[in-house]
Amino acid sequence: GAGVSQSPSNKVTEKGKDVELRCDPISGHTALYWYRQSLGQGLEFLIYFQGNSAPDKSGLPSDRFSAERTGGSVSTLTIQRTQQEDSAVYLCASREVNNEQFFGPGTRLTVL
């Protein structure tokens, strides 16, 4: 089906390395969201895109985190100099105006 897809599904990296996570939203969805879920925690909002611009970056936990979206479609979330506390499932969601969000399957990031 044409749902939200994310890659990779799993990523294991060493502390200090950079990682890049990808999200392909549902075609035509203008809004795109990144969340993360740490062990035992709820879904933590990271950043929101409307088209290619990010009007709300308030959830990014540090300047090591950045995200971009090109062509109003694919988005990448980059984490530089990863730390063990970055280990989590990173979820992407997209939505049309006034509709609920549709989530991807997530990327499980493990920082050793």
Partner 1 sequence: DQQVKQNSPSLSVQEGRISILNCDYTNSMFDYFLWYKKYPAEGPTFLISISSIKDKNEDGRFTVFLNKSAKHLSLHIVPSQPGDSAVYFCAARGYNNNDMRFGAGTRLTVKP
Output DSSP code: residue 84: G
Q: Does 41 bind partner 1 (CB under 8 A)?
A: yes
Cα 44–4–70 angle (5° rounding)? Answer: 85
Residue closer to partner 1 by CB (options 27, 58) is 58
How far apart CA 98 and CA 30 sit, in angstroms, is 11
Within 8 A by CB and 6+ apart from 25, the residues are 4, 32, 73, 74, 75, 92, 94
Q: Which residue's entry shows tokens 């549902």?
A: 26
For partner 1 (CB under 8 A), the number of binding residues is 25
Residues 45-104 that bind partner 1 (CB under 8 A): 45, 48, 50, 55-56, 58-59, 91, 93, 100-104
- Selected from 4, 60, 67, 79, the binder of partner 1 by CB under 8 A is 4
- Selected from 19, 24, 26, 35, the binder of partner 1 by CB under 8 A is 35
Q: Which residues bind partner 1 (CB under 8 A)?
A: 4, 31, 33, 35, 40-45, 48, 50, 55-56, 58-59, 91, 93, 100-106
